[in-house]
């Protein structure tokens, strides 16, 4: 599909959509500052009966704690509105009927897996699950290395190599995956963005077709690529990482480009 440029083209493409997925950092906020007008946008979508979901790959905290983080930023939402890379990971484990896992993850993440019915153990686990473990120790790495050499199945919540902070980048799940790859030669099956499962598992649950959904994001190689692969309408915004020049050079062409997410308010009328 060619990128839609006129107001009418964009309106026509969006008017019957039922679900809006939003990337967070660079799309709705930067660090701990919500962009102006975002609350109006969310209210507008709610008043039009659109389903709204906020996506993050960050698996360093549980969904409950993530909700508190988003509430602190000023977003008025429920836990059901949040999709983390943890969720398609848990769906996969449930589908595979796995019970005992070794989880490389924070205490906060562990609590979510336990609530979901999993047993976290280093005694004969059925699978290794790697998350963004900000409480990583050498002892944990040793355990995982042995499990991987024993050819235990191995999955990870998301592929991001680094996570941005005020002072600079810190190692994220992808960097821990690389470290373990150097040591064991093993690579995990990965969920989270840009894996289209991050959108499709939720659409299956809602029984809504991908063509009735929209993803709004600021990164071509994650948000927009994932949307394209899932068959969801893609909107790239310029409030984060991507510029017009980057889109011109990229093979990944969003269906719609907007300066900022709140431009949707006037389009949705
Ligand atoms: Mg982003």
Statement: the pTM of the whole predicted model exceeds 0.75: yes
Q: How many Å lie between the centroid of ligand 1 and the Cα of residue 77?
A: 19
Let me know: does 154 contact 188? Beta carbons within 8 Å: yes
Q: How many Å lie between the centroid of ligand 1 and the Cα of residue 211?
A: 22
Q: How many Å lie between the centroid of ligand 1 and the Cα of residue 48?
A: 25
**Domain boundary assignment for the chain:** 7-57+194-268, 87-190
Q: How many Å lie between the centroid of ligand 1 and the Cα of residue 26?
A: 4
Q: How many Å lie between the centroid of ligand 1 and the Cα of residue 37?
A: 17
pLDDT for 30-52, tens place per residue? 878 899 999 999 999 999 999 99
Fold that domain 87-190 belongs to in CATH: Rossmann fold (3.40.50)
- Under the banding of pLDDT at 50, 70 and 90, the label for residue 96 is very high
Q: What is the CATH number of domain 7-57+194-268?
A: 3.40.50.1000
Q: What is the pLDDT of residue 185?
A: 98
Cβ-count burial 21-45 (b if 16+ within 10 Å, e if not):
bbbbbbbbbeeeeebeebeebbebb
Q: How many Å lie between the centroid of ligand 1 and the Cα of residue 241?
A: 7
Is pLDDT at 3 greater than 90 in this prediction? no
DSSP 252: -
Percent of the chain with pLDDT over 70: 100
What value does the mean pLDDT of the chain take?
95
For residue 176, the surrounding DSSP H or E stretch is: helix 173-184
Q: How many Å lie between the centroid of ligand 1 and the Cα of residue 193?
A: 11
33 or 22, greater pLDDT: 22
Is pLDDT at 4 greater than 70 in this prediction? yes
pLDDT for 233-266, tens place per residue? 999 999 988 999 999 999 999 999 999 999 999 9
Q: Give mean pLDDT, residues 2-31.
A: 90
Q: What is the pLDDT of residue 1?
A: 65
Q: How many Å lie between the centroid of ligand 1 and the Cα of residue 23?
A: 5
Distance, in Å, from the CA atom of 111 to the CA atom of 89, rounded to the nearest integer, reads 15
What residues contact residue 15 under an 8 Å CB cut-off, 6+ apart?
none
- Under the banding of pLDDT at 50, 70 and 90, the label for residue 76 is confident
Q: Is 87-190 in the same CATH topology as 7-57+194-268?
A: yes
Q: How many Å lie between the centroid of ligand 1 and the Cα of residue 189?
A: 22
DSSP 35: P
Q: What is the pLDDT of residue 145?
A: 98
Q: How many Å lie between the centroid of ligand 1 and the Cα of residue 24?
A: 6
Distance, in Å, from the CA atom of 266 to the CA atom of 269, rounded to the nearest integer, reads 5
Is pLDDT at 168 greater than 90 in this prediction? no
Is pLDDT at 2 greater than 80 in this prediction? no
Q: How many Å lie between the centroid of ligand 1 and the Cα of residue 200?
A: 19
Q: Give mean pLDDT, residues 74-83.
A: 92
Q: Give mean pLDDT, residues 84-95.
A: 96
pLDDT for 192-234, tens place per residue? 999 999 999 999 999 999 999 999 999 999 999 999 999 999 9
Q: How many Å lie between the centroid of ligand 1 and the Cα of residue 223?
A: 8
Q: How many Å lie between the centroid of ligand 1 and the Cα of residue 30?
A: 9
Could you give the 3-state DSSP secondary structure of residue 213?
Answer: strand
Q: How many Å lie between the centroid of ligand 1 and the Cα of residue 121?
A: 34
On the CB side of 245, CA atoms within 13 Å amount to 0
Show the tokens assigned to 209: 């077709």
């Amino acid at each position: 599909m060619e990128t839609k440029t006129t107001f009418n083209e964009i309106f026509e493409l969006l008017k019957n959509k039922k679900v809006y997925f939003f990337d967070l950092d660079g799309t709705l906020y930067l660090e701990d500052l919500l962009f102006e007008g975002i609350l109006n946008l969310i209210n507008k979508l709610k008043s039009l009966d659109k389903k709204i979901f906020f996506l993050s790959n960050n698996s360093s905290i549980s969904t409950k704690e993530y909700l508190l983080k988003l509430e602190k930023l000023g977003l008025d939402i429920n836990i059901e509105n949040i999709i983390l890379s943890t969720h398609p990971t848990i769906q996969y484990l449930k589908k595979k009927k796995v019970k005992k896992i070794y989880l490389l993850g924070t205490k906060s993440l562990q609590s979510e897996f336990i609530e979901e019915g999993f047993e976290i153990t280093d005694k004969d686990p059925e699978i290794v699950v790697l998350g963004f473990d900000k409480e990583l120790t050498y002892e944990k790495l040793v355990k995982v290395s042995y499990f991987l050499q024993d050819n235990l199945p191995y999955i990870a919540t998301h592929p991001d190599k680094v996570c941005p902070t005020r002072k600079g980048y810190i190692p994220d799940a992808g960097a821990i995956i690389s470290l373990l790859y150097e040591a064991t030669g093993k690579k995990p099956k990965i969920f989270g963005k840009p894996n289209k499962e991050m959108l499709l598992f939720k659409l299956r649950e809602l029984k809504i077709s991908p063509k009735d959904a929209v993803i709004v994001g600021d990164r071509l190689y994650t948000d927009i690529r994932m949307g394209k692969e899932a068959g969801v309408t893609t909107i790239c915004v310029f409030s984060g990482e991507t510029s017009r020049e980057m889109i011109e050079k990229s093979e990944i062409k969003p269906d719609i480009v907007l300066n900022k997410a709140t431009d949707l308010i006037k389009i949705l009328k």
